[in-house]
Amino acid sequence: MSETPAPYDPAALRLLAMEAALAGGRTLLAWRDKFTTREKGPADLVTDADIAAQRAVREVLLGARPDDAFVGEESPAGAPEDRGGRVCWIVDPLDGTTNYVHGFPMFATSVGVVFDGELVAGAIYDPVSDEMFSAAKGGGAFLGEAPIHVTEAAELGESLVAVSLPPRVDIDSPDLRAFVAVVEASRAVRRTGSAALNLAYVAAGRLDAHWAFSIYPWDAAAGVLICQEAGAVVTDCAGQPFDVWKADYLVAATNSLHRDVLQRLR
């Protein structure tokens, strides 16, 4: 008896994710001078551009695969649709909204896809630099069509590291304690305001490690897979296997660097 074919082809999903991310990013550029802004919560912004970009991404994805599930940051109440046993797209139409609002050129559209909790493809598009990062499970990671790989950084003291902090940070928060601990030991720490681009930059060898305690699936899904396919070590911030629906992560170029950062996050 023949096996039931898989409900997805990672390589084909990568191409579709790239098409959707490109549509989202181009929409963000088109809205750059005409959006309005409102608050979802303290220091947590949403713009008309976010909503328009998510609509553009969704149209590409569900136009090609109408039976798939879709989880987007700007979906009603942020509630995921039924995703069990289905290919599920996890989308951040505008990662780096505060940057976008202020004209700071670090934002992106992130399109990831999972099946039964397993990352299978993803793309991150930076419309300002016109850079497309992508990956398919088992197929490697790419910037455009050029393969990318993590660095060989083995020690924190020689590493450039990025952190993603929540919109509001209390003075005694674990986020700040970890930040100080890593700053003291690393070459430098960056906070760019875009988790998706931080992850893409680790994969491309521009950063050596990146972590986030407080994050959402749509911020992490595409970038974590791209890092994995580029050779990064990926866990959650406690050193346990990464769970896309919990989303917190630590990615590092090498095992030794991962251990070094992890002990400072605890």
Q: Which fold has domain 10-147?
A: Fructose-1,6-Bisphosphatase; Chain A, domain 1 (3.30.540)
Please name which of 112, 210, 114, 200 lies closest in space to residue 159, comparing C-alpha atoms: 210
Does the annotation place 172 within a ligand binding site?
A: no
Question: Per-residue pLDDT for the chain (266 aa), expressed as one digit of tens each?
Answer: 445 456 789 999 999 999 999 999 999 999 887 766 555 544 444 578 889 999 999 999 999 999 999 999 877 544 455 456 789 999 999 999 889 988 899 999 999 999 988 999 999 999 999 999 999 999 999 999 999 999 999 999 999 999 988 777 777 777 778 888 888 889 999 999 999 999 999 999 999 999 999 899 999 999 999 999 999 999 999 999 999 999 899 999 999 999 999 999 98
CA–CA distance, 74 with 91 (Å, rounded to integer): 9
Q: What's the pLDDT at 83?
A: 58
CA–CA distance, 149 with 143 (Å, rounded to integer): 10
Q: What's the pLDDT at 175?
A: 78
Q: What's the pLDDT at 19?
A: 98
Hey, what are 84's tokens? 């069990």
Does the annotation place 81 within a ligand binding site?
A: no
Q: What's the pLDDT at 74?
A: 75
Does the annotation place 131 within a ligand binding site?
A: no
CA–CA distance, 208 with 257 (Å, rounded to integer): 8
Please name which of 195, 202, 191 lies closest in space to residue 151, comparing C-alpha atoms: 202
Q: What's the pLDDT at 94?
A: 95
- Give the containing element (helix H, strand E) for 49: helix 48-64
Does the annotation place 95 within a ligand binding site?
A: yes
Residue pair 115/88 in contact by the 8 Å Cβ criterion: yes
Q: What's the pLDDT at 101?
A: 86
Q: Which fold has domain 156-265?
A: D-Maltodextrin-Binding Protein; domain 2 (3.40.190)
Domains 10-147 and 156-265 share a fold: no
Does the annotation place 207 within a ligand binding site?
A: no
Per-domain residue ranges for the chain?
A: 10-147, 156-265
Q: Are strands 209-212 and 44-47 parallel, antiparallel or unpaired?
A: unpaired
Hey, what are 93's tokens? 């139409």
